[in-house]
């Protein structure tokens, strides 16, 4: 994924998150744009102890960290999933790791890492719905797939997302990765890249057909 697409993805996700917050300012108000993008989401200062979490740099399965990880905040702290691999074997050794933090600054790797290595998992994001965790991630060839877990550690892979064109025809061959998903009123909304050309949108009510 090129840097322009990554930047667009971040801006789009911020817009989605901010649109979920009711605004006390009318559309006609000149300050409405500032309300949609509050300072806490647009003004950042680098932490003095960066980087906070890196690959081990040693002889381990997560010697190097690849692509986008994901952090989920819950009542008991922060939960992070990430992709690691050995530099010598690169794509042949990628696996999914898990780490936790009480404050988002100090992280502890899960002692049972890697938690999933059966299939390619990278560039993931996680949504909790009811009592289940849904992970949308890139698989091999940058094809998005779905995984589920009840405990954040043990994951079941449900295979590639079946995305259709607006006509109902299957997508033409090619990558569709970097998935970002949210659920609203029973409908799942998927944003994904397509051939690094831009952001595509699809919806589903059953997580089977998009």
pLDDT tens figures, 1-28? 444 334 334 333 433 334 444 444 444 4
pTM of the predicted protein model: 0.80
Model pLDDT for residues 30-75, shown as the tens digit of each residue? 455 557 888 888 999 999 999 999 999 999 999 999 989 999 999 9
Are residues 115 and 83 in contact, defined by beta-carbon separation less than 8 angstroms? no
Span 83-89, average pLDDT: 91
With a cut of 70, say whether residue 138 has pLDDT above it.
yes
Residue 6: the pLDDT is: 41
Longest dimension (CA), the chain: 58
Higher pLDDT, 8 or 194: 194
Tell me what the pLDDT averaged over the chain comes to: 86
Span 113-141, average pLDDT: 95
Residue 17: the pLDDT is: 39
């Amino acid at each position: 994924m090129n840097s322009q697409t990554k930047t667009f993805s971040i801006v789009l996700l911020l817009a989605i998150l901010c649109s979920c917050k009711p605004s006390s300012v009318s559309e006609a108000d000149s300050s409405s744009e500032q309300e949609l993008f509050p300072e806490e989401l647009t003004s950042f200062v680098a932490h003095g102890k960066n980087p906070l979490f890196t690959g081990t740099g040693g002889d381990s399965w997560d010697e190097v960290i690849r692509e986008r990880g994901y952090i989920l905040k819950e009542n008991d702290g922060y939960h992070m999933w990430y992709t690691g691999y050995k530099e010598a074997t690169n794509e042949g050794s990628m696996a999914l790791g898990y780490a936790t933090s009480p404050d988002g600054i100090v992280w502890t790797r899960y002692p049972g890492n890697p938690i999933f290595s059966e299939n390619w998992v990278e560039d993931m994001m996680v949504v909790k719905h009811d009592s289940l965790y849904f992970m949308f991630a890139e698989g091999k060839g940058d094809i998005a797939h779905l995984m589920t877990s009840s405990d954040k550690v043990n994951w079941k892979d449900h295979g590639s997302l079946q995305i259709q064109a607006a006509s109902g025809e299957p997508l033409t061959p090619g990558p569709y990765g970097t998935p970002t998903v949210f659920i609203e009123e029973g409908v799942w909304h998927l944003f994904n890249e397509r051939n690094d050309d831009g952001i595509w949108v699809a919806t589903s009510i059953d997580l089977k057909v998009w």
